[in-house]
Structure 1
Amino acid sequence: MPLPKLSLSVQSELSLKKATKTNPLPTIVVYATDDGKILGNLPDSEHLTTAKALLKRSNFQAGLGESVIDYAINDKDAAAIVIVGVGKLDKLANNIAKVANATYNAIKTSQKAAVLWGDTICQIHFTQFVTHLIGSSYRFDHHKSKPKPADTLSEVVLINTKDSLDDYKTALQFAQATATGMGAARDVANEAPNVLTPSELAKKAKQLAKDYADTITVSVLGEKDMEKLGMGCFLAVSQGSDQEGKLAIIEYYGKSGKSGKKAKLNKPIALVGKGLTFDSGGISLKPSAGMEEMKFDMGGAASILGTMHAIAEANLPIDVVAVLACAENMPSARASRPSDVVTAMNGTTVEILNTDAEGRLVLCDTLCYVQENYEPKVIIDTATLTGACVIALGSVRSALYSNDEDTIFALQAASEYTNDLVWHMPLDDAYDEQINSKVADIQNIGGREAGSVTAACFLKRFIKEGQAWAHLDIAGTAWNGGGTCAATGRPVALLAQYLRSQSQA
């Protein structure tokens, strides 16, 4: 569902007026470390005095994410005080998301809140904090017959006692745009697969052209179009489903300017997203346990869609083309079989040894399409591609593969800035040998060893010589499994920051 409308602003000091029914006092939030110190070099005030007294009398330990509240029940003219624990100060930088989540949970039943950071939080961590504060308000409950009442929080003022707040105001605007994109990504990824079919995912892309008509155009290819283009690998996946496969192409004219049908992107950055709206495994059927999570197999496309929301909202001056590979992988009499041989758009023949290794099949043709129709500065694809990646990196970092050092460094820098972390993985030729086929040019799996690496090697086979490219395997980071079972919105923050830095280069 759309994020609630939170009014956020940055100020250098807190000024309170007498409370009225229509203008209540804000709940005031301060932060403390586990050694009992209140952060921020805050100016002396009755609020600071109250916070110190509350910290002492409550014996509050200020562990990471813990909070204690003085509701000021005995004084109707006093603001409620919340102390949020940050744990150890030297670990605060890595725990901004947890602190933001704890902050939101402590103030969500207030109408207004004033967050007193003082001079503690730097611009980078401020951006992270705002993004996750807004993200903590996200909920996906429109399928419930009786959803919980909405949170009452509508306004948050962030108090930073810096010499200049201009950088923080800029960071606030970008953080809000990023949060909007992450919310959009979570919405589509969380949606039920009988609702979010490939056609519906393509419609979500087309909605962007309506929402941002000044900068975005969208076109959609169907299976007949793909047949003409020779996209045999993509069609080998979608042919088993009654739902038609779609290729949604989103063009963002942030730099060259949109000028009708003759508009042309100028060496855009290309984003490609795997959009398997449900992955049963096809003939190589997955085990039933956990199969419900395969609605998230379009997490790559969701993240690209969310990223386009974010950069359009932020109005970044950069040209971008994004392509969503939308399909459904189902078993049927028409489905591909293990040992089938199909031909990709660039003429490469592929032996399908496992129909559950379908993501790389839709992506390889999509990568060919992008290179054939654009002159991208760099191509970045995102995909919930391999279970092997989850085993290797868990849910902390996404796997980063690339053939270009500049792209590696830029993505790593963006990941550190946003704390949407990646880990650089190898692409040695020795791994590539595992996907050589005896009957075709290439096979779609490389055996049990290094499964995430050989999947990336497969994609690399479809990148032209000299074309900068990066692949993000987000199988462990796009959603939280188990009891939570919800999309995270990653790596929207990473990609949005990367594009922001490229627009400033």
Structure 2
Amino acid sequence: MRGSIRVGDAAEGVDAIAYVAGREALDWLRGVDPAASRVIELGDFKAGLEETALIYRLEGVPRLILSGAGGEDEWIGHAERLRVAVAAAVKQARRLRQIRRLGIVVEKGLLEKAASEGRGERWAVEQALIAADMANYVYSLHGRGDRPHVLDEIRIGPGDEKALESASAIAEGVRLARDLANAPANIMGPDGLEDAARELAKRLGLGIRVLHRGELESLGMGGILAVGSGSDKEPRLIVLEYHGGGRRVAVVGKAVAFDSGGLDLKPSQYMLEMKYDKSGGAAAMGIIAAAARLRLPVELVALIPAVENMPSGRSYKPLDVIKMYNGLTVEVGNTDAEGRLILADALAYAAEKYKPDAMIDLATLTGAAVVALGNHAAALMSNNEDLASGIEKAAWAAGEPAWRLPMWPVYEKQLESKVADTNNIGGRWAGAITAAKFLEKFVDGRPWAHLDIAGVAWVQEKGPWKPYYHQGGATGWGVRTVVEYLRGL
């Protein structure tokens, strides 16, 4: 259930046309149509960020939408002003179920300002197209009744086919990540994730290998095996490879298809969002899909440890000691700190087998990251300044802000264990950082960046609030950021 994005004449054959501009371009909007000029003169539209106005016309395209991009002082930057305003126009059009085709015209000054923050005007048009596609997204399993309205076509003009080609590739990756994360655990368990990966590999010509229980045991992947031990669905490590030449990059995504907390059971209200605990793995699949379609000159491997964390007679227990793939022993301080255990095995395997130039992991890892940053930024931690700076720059350019937290050696003391090499938790304080310090033990000193996306991977009570997330559910956070970083290599 999806529409298409296009470039071309924004007024040809459409049911509505949207004009996008900031407050600095109100005069341009006045010249669009006499009715638009009148609405602005009356003060009913001031081009504020996400502000829209709907006007009916007697001639030409019957519906006119004005969509505001706010002022030049918006802290989010010009590229994000553009994305938000385009998405707000799509959101307004979707409210009217009679609109099937929407044309969008962006004021040239706004486009030029956005272009200056990225890779030029073609990049700015691409970003507008991606935002439009994201705002037109819906995940629905309705069998009866009215399904959410989706526009058949969104056309941005003028534009060029190169911008459309790259936008379509990235938008597809974001959609894939959102679909996988939104899917309930009975549909998208570890087995469902494997099926999705195999279909993706076949469609895009990717290499694929899936390590099941026997191989996990022979390799000594005690973290993945322990976390998956309580479920009837077997754990596995999914490995996808794209060979584009160039630098070697490993992307590791946490995929806990459902996280009950294990024997350290979560309160019931916190389980209601735990189908989203596979968002990191979903993003990893979306990233490699986009990279393949963009034909990026990079050697990319995506590793997705896929498990369910469930309580049963077979479950791993608090104070168990687990031997990991790299030989470290881990005392289990809490079975609900499971994501770092499966990531650790995958990171250690990636470091040894692929010897990447850079490693990036994405995970809905800690509530502590949400406490620190809310639902408006991911927490970024790294052992390498160049990699961290590159990821941070890419995140802001893509409209997915990331904020760096320190990785001082003193935090490692919180992970000390009396019976094992390390504990899997470091106590209540600085929980996002101690989780990252745990993961750092498994990267073999290679350049590595950790993105804790617990606050931004799906729309929660306090955000993230963006018109391109307006349906709610999974955001696909991280696909745009990592693809932007890979393009910069």
Same fold (TM > 0.5): yes
Q: Distance in 1 between matches of 2:411 and 2:190?
A: 33
The more displaced of 312-321 and 477-486 is 477-486
Q: Distance in 1 between matches of 2:61 and 2:321?
A: 74
Could you list the runs of 5+ residues in structure 2 that have no partner in the other structure?
119-123, 463-470
Structure 1 segment 8-47 matched on structure 2, within 5 A: 8-9=6-7, 24=13, 27-34=16-23, 37-39=26-28, 47=32
CA gap of 1:473–1:104, structure 2 versus 1, over 3 A, is: same
Contact 2:17 2:103 (8 Å CA) reproduced: yes
Contact 1:36 1:55 (8 Å CA) reproduced: no
Structure 1 segment 2-151 matched on structure 2, within 5 A: 4-9=2-7, 24=13, 27-34=16-23, 37-39=26-28, 47-57=32-42, 59-72=44-57, 74-75=58-59, 77=60, 80-91=63-74, 93=78, 94-108=80-94, 109-121=99-111, 122-123=114-115, 124=118, 125-148=124-147, 150-151=149-150
Q: Distance in 2 between matches of 1:30 and 1:340?
A: 60
**2:179 paired with 1:192:** no
Aligned to 2:451: 472
Q: Distance in 2 between matches of 1:157 and 1:462?
A: 46
Q: Distance in 2 between matches of 1:494 and 1:173?
A: 18
CA gap of 1:360–1:32, structure 2 versus 1, over 3 A, is: closer
Contact 2:255 2:306 (8 Å CA) reproduced: yes
Q: Distance in 2 between matches of 1:116 and 1:450?
A: 44
Q: Distance in 2 between matches of 1:217 and 1:35?
A: 50
SS at match of 2:54: strand
Q: 1:311 is matched by which residue type in structure 2?
A: A
Distance apart, 1:170 and its partner CA? 3.7
Aligned to 1:452: 432
Distance apart, 1:114 and its partner CA? 3.7
Distance apart, 1:470 and its partner CA? 0.9
Contact 1:277 1:327 (8 Å CA) reproduced: yes
Listed one character per residue, the Cα deviations across residues 289-348 of structure 1 (whole Å, up to 9, x for unaligned) are 121101111111011111112112222121101100100000011101111011001111
Q: Distance in 2 between matches of 1:149 and 1:304?
A: 27
Instruction: Give the total of aligned pairs.
Output: 465
From the CA coordinates, give the structure whose radius of gyration is larger: 1
Contact 2:231 2:312 (8 Å CA) reproduced: yes
Q: Distance in 1 between matches of 2:351 and 2:312?
A: 32
The more displaced of 233-242 and 126-135 is 126-135
Could you list the runs of 5+ residues in structure 1 that have no partner in the other structure?
17-22, 160-164, 256-265
SS at match of 1:146: coil
Structure 1 segment 409-424 matched on structure 2, within 5 A: 409-424=389-404
Distance apart, 1:110 and its partner CA? 4.2
Displaced runs of 4 or more, over 6 A: none
Q: 1:85 is matched by which residue type in structure 2?
A: G
Distance apart, 1:461 and its partner CA? 0.8
Listed one character per residue, the Cα deviations across residues 96-143 of structure 1 (whole Å, up to 9, x for unaligned) are 343122110233414241424223213345443221111001001124
Give the % identical residues. Answer: 36
Q: Distance in 1 between matches of 2:196 and 2:413?
A: 39
Normalising by structure 1, report the TM-score.
0.86
Q: 1:468 is matched by which residue type in structure 2?
A: P
Q: Distance in 2 between matches of 1:71 and 1:58?
A: 18
Tell me how large the CA RMSD over aligned residues is. 2.3
Q: Distance in 2 between matches of 1:269 and 1:149?
A: 38
Normalising by structure 2, report the TM-score.
0.89
Aligned to 1:393: 373
Contact 2:255 2:277 (8 Å CA) reproduced: yes
Structure 1 segment 24-423 matched on structure 2, within 5 A: 24=13, 27-34=16-23, 37-39=26-28, 47-57=32-42, 59-72=44-57, 74-75=58-59, 77=60, 80-91=63-74, 93=78, 94-108=80-94, 109-121=99-111, 122-123=114-115, 124=118, 125-148=124-147, 150-159=149-158, 169-213=161-205, 216-255=206-245, 268-423=248-403
Contact 1:382 1:473 (8 Å CA) reproduced: yes
